[in-house]
Structure 1
Amino acid sequence: MTDAARPSPASAPSGPPSGADSEVGRLRTVMLHRPGHELSRLTPRNNDRLLFDGIPWVARAQEEHDAFAEALRERDVEVLYLMDLLTQTLELEEARTAAIETALSDLELGDTMRHYLDGLLGESIPAELATLLTAGIRNDEVRGGFGLVTSLLDHDAFLIDPLPNLLFTRDSSVWVRDRVAITSLAMPARKRETQLTELIYTHHPRFAGSPRIHGHHYEHVEGGDVLLLAPGVIAVGVGERTTAAGVERLARQVFTDDLAHTVLAVPIAQERATMHLDTICTMVDVDKMVVYENVADSLVAHAVTRDGQEDDGTLHLGVAAPEPFLVAAAKAMGIDTLHRIETGLDPVTAEREQWDDGNNTLALAPRVAVAYERNDATNARLEAAGIEVVEIAGSELGSGRGGPRCMSCPIVRDPLA
């Protein structure tokens, strides 16, 4: 398709100003990614490298995700799909060029194959290009560029890797008030996700002029580790994916832009089941969170605040001694107690339901949260605490170890009073 024939993104959706100042303000707009061809690329030989614990049944995962999206729409939430936004973004030549250059930057491709793929991707219409960039390209799928690289690669090896973790849109961007933090994903298998997300926020008309903080080229911060506990209070997990250096940079950014007064740095034990902070706890009301009880009592936080400036103008950070997380959070939030609702009914049930993302809930409003239906013990505790639980199926969606919060990036929430 020629540039003249390529459609203009002028008709792409536009909407109200974006932003969020909490985890529980009424959700108005959310970005999701419907499972696609990228999930069908998972095999028992590559799923570990691509960070999936299992091989999902794609058709069922799509059915479950469609039901999730419909549950949100029934609550008057506008659902934006990442693939639609990406396709519309790729209608712009500048965005196409940047996306192709990023995809072909892998040094293992070699010049012969890189030149061939540059032509293949460059000739693709936006929808085809979006699919190729997300589902990847295997060695046995190309019809040119043959040389030493392709001769030595297995026939089913990927020249451009698929991105099955796009499902978890929370990780690659986070809105902090009216600004979007483009995150920096730590794992090589996920690096291109945040680059494509940044492409959308840079070029799509929906987000034109939206100020940004952080970026994929900075120290590692992942969205699953960032919780907006209350207006002005941000908790950030520090562990397997988010580094202390990443939290330090994010804190300086939000303080400089007056987006927060306190950042709580929360060390997370290096365990697979507790990868991100939102696999340990999520907010379900202005003063309530569901917490994985097996680690709740050992979780601590360092309160980071603004503390003057260095001689060179750099913002100086004050770092408090560690306190129990819920205590430090309540102090920063200005409330007497941050109440905890524990996962499961006992330590064994808690471990099982935490593994199945029992406390990875998505708040739609204060005291309303989406949760996987399979975690019945945790859901019963939520309901007993006055939380309305919107249950969704997740037998296949959960194979990537992520719940409703992981699968959603809130774009617009009502501000809390």
Structure 2
Amino acid sequence: MIKNKEFKIGVASEIGRLKALLIHSPDSGLGKVVPSKAQDWLYEDIVHLDTMRAGEYDYYVKLLMYFLDQDKIKGRLAEIDAPENQRAFYKPDHPDFHSSNKVVELQCLLSDILADAEIRLKLVSSVCAIENCDYRLQQRLLGMDPHELAKIFISGSIDNEKMIFAPIPNLIFSRDIGIVINKHILINKPAKKARQRETLLARYIFFNHPLFKDYKDNIIELPETEQHFLRPGEDQTERTTLEGGDVMVISADHVIIGCSERTSASGANEAIKLLFANKVVKKVTVVKIPHKRDYMHIDTIFTQVKRNVWVLLGSLAITKAAVKEIEPISWFVDNRLKDQPEIIQFYADQKQPRRFKNLEELLDDISRNDLGSTEPTKFIYSGNNTFPFDAREQWTDSCNLLALKEGVVLGYDRNDKTLEAFKQSGFNVIKVADLLQQLESGTVTVESLTDTIILMPSSELSRARGGFHCMSLPVLREEIS
């Protein structure tokens, strides 16, 4: 069982040095997504699992370990990369798994709680009810080893062969199941049926795993709207849905919530009420973006790099006047303007909200007033703000970056025009394989890295339609001054 008497949670920014997070490594369920079910399971394409695991995600885990739990990897890179050990360090059911208390694997947490007979009975019953399993299968699952049962709940397969229910391939996007805001945990309500089991598993983990025992009273669950079951023809916009990609912790007092394809206005409203009622934050900004698959969550159109630097999609960030300045008015420009977000800021201690004209105005206000930046706010645009590269590279998550510490972010290697924009803004660009060798040799240290974007191989991971902001659930970050 994962144990850590000093385990703490606390996230008060998007850019404070990352100290602990929850992830889920690609499992066999991803290798069973078929074209006819891909979109039902929220995938745009089918992926090659071995390449995704050993050629891409493996780098992610090793990099996280160097930043968060270096003692478990420093000096071992050659051993870990040896042919006989490859595809082992990141696999939770392998003897050589890293077993870190800082880079925490969700499957391990699930295995831990399933060792308790009472929890196993409740969770098996709940999963079988959701998946319409027959009674004999339910009894068979109850008698299984906790580690094997955890794999089944995630992959949908017994012995990695016979499928008994659908996989949950989106669990690699761990941010969407919950968000840590200061010392509270907000459990989300996904919009799609394909993610229902993920939320159930997350709820059991947060309420039952010893790592979170000191925070049980700080767990916030979103209720459905009152008497929702009596509302005829309830559509997506009326349902209470909220996913983690639409929640950003800006500061100890301020959270952004997006209304998107996946997060409804009702979900945002319920979250605001609960955050204010529990005195979690003092200010919530709602950013309403078009309900399009192109955007999905707000973290697909902007993320933070430094307190005064943001990466974002220019076509959703600027006013009509600004568009006129940078390109001739045309049907294309007018079409872009139809997608402009609506931005409203709410306060716990006053009734009158504030409205912002565009994303750039909001992000500049955050940098100056929430984070105290004395430097001009800078914007790095997807595709270097050039059509069609802005839209192409936003689709492959050019704006979906994870800050390992302020100014050091992780992204995909395929977004060339966006990388040009980073270089023009004074950032170093380095491939993850090169950086790992430098960290191992000591020619570079985590502390010495500044203003750097680290590039991850992305031929398969990018097919899943999520970047590293999506693939991380930070539970502890250092406070920024």
Q: TM-score, normalised by structure 1?
A: 0.86
Aligned partner of 1:394 among 426, 443, 458: 458
Aligned partner of 2:58 among 66, 69, 80: 66
**Alpha-carbon shift at residue 322 of structure 1 (Å):** 4.8
Tell me which amino acid in the other structure corresponds to 1:339: K
Q: 2:255 is matched with which residue?
A: 234
**Alpha-carbon shift at residue 307 of structure 1 (Å):** 4.3
CA RMSD of aligned residues (A): 2.2
1:255-270 alignment, distance < 5 Å = 255-270=276-291
1:126-275 alignment, distance < 5 Å = 126-137=146-157, 159-210=164-215, 211-215=217-221, 217-218=223-224, 219-275=240-296
Partners in 1 of 2:6 and 2:28 — Cα distance? Answer: 29
Tell me which amino acid in the other structure corresponds to 1:117: L
Partners in 2 of 1:16 and 1:168 — Cα distance? Answer: 22
1:13-412 alignment, distance < 5 Å = 13-63=4-54, 64-77=56-69, 78-106=102-130, 109=132, 113-137=133-157, 159-210=164-215, 211-215=217-221, 217-218=223-224, 219-297=240-318, 298-307=340-349, 318-331=352-365, 334=369, 338-345=377-384, 346-385=386-425, 386=427, 387-412=451-476
Partners in 2 of 1:98 and 1:322 — Cα distance? Answer: 47
- Could you list the structure 1 runs, at least 4 aligned residues long, displaced by more than 4 angstroms after superposition: 335-338
SS of the equivalent of 2:109 reads: helix
Sort the Cα spacing of 1:216 and 1:136 in 2 relative to 1 into closer, same or farther, 3 A.
farther
Sort the Cα spacing of 1:206 and 1:176 in 2 relative to 1 into closer, same or farther, 3 A.
same
SS of the equivalent of 1:265 reads: strand
Partners in 2 of 1:338 and 1:261 — Cα distance? Answer: 23
Give the gaps of 5 or more residues in structure 1. 1-8, 143-157, 309-316
Residues 285-294 or 90-99, more deviating: 90-99
Tell me which amino acid in the other structure corresponds to 2:105: Y
Partners in 1 of 2:352 and 2:10 — Cα distance? Answer: 27
Partners in 2 of 1:71 and 1:34 — Cα distance? Answer: 14
Partners in 1 of 2:379 and 2:5 — Cα distance? Answer: 38
SS of the equivalent of 2:136 reads: helix
Sort the Cα spacing of 1:89 and 1:273 in 2 relative to 1 into closer, same or farther, 3 A.
same
Partners in 1 of 2:166 and 2:208 — Cα distance? Answer: 24
**Alpha-carbon shift at residue 292 of structure 1 (Å):** 0.9
Sort the Cα spacing of 1:14 and 1:353 in 2 relative to 1 into closer, same or farther, 3 A.
farther
* Cα offsets for 1:345-400 (capped at 9, x unmatched): 21211111101101100001111100111112212322432431111112111111
* Cα offsets for 1:218-244 (capped at 9, x unmatched): 431100001112331111110211111
**Alpha-carbon shift at residue 416 of structure 1 (Å):** 1.7
Sort the Cα spacing of 1:87 and 1:163 in 2 relative to 1 into closer, same or farther, 3 A.
same
Sort the Cα spacing of 1:321 and 1:296 in 2 relative to 1 into closer, same or farther, 3 A.
closer
Count of residues in Structure 1 that have an aligned counterpart in Structure 2:
380
Sort the Cα spacing of 1:217 and 1:97 in 2 relative to 1 into closer, same or farther, 3 A.
farther
- Contact kept? 1:221, 1:243, Cα under 8 Å: yes
Q: TM-score, normalised by structure 2?
A: 0.75
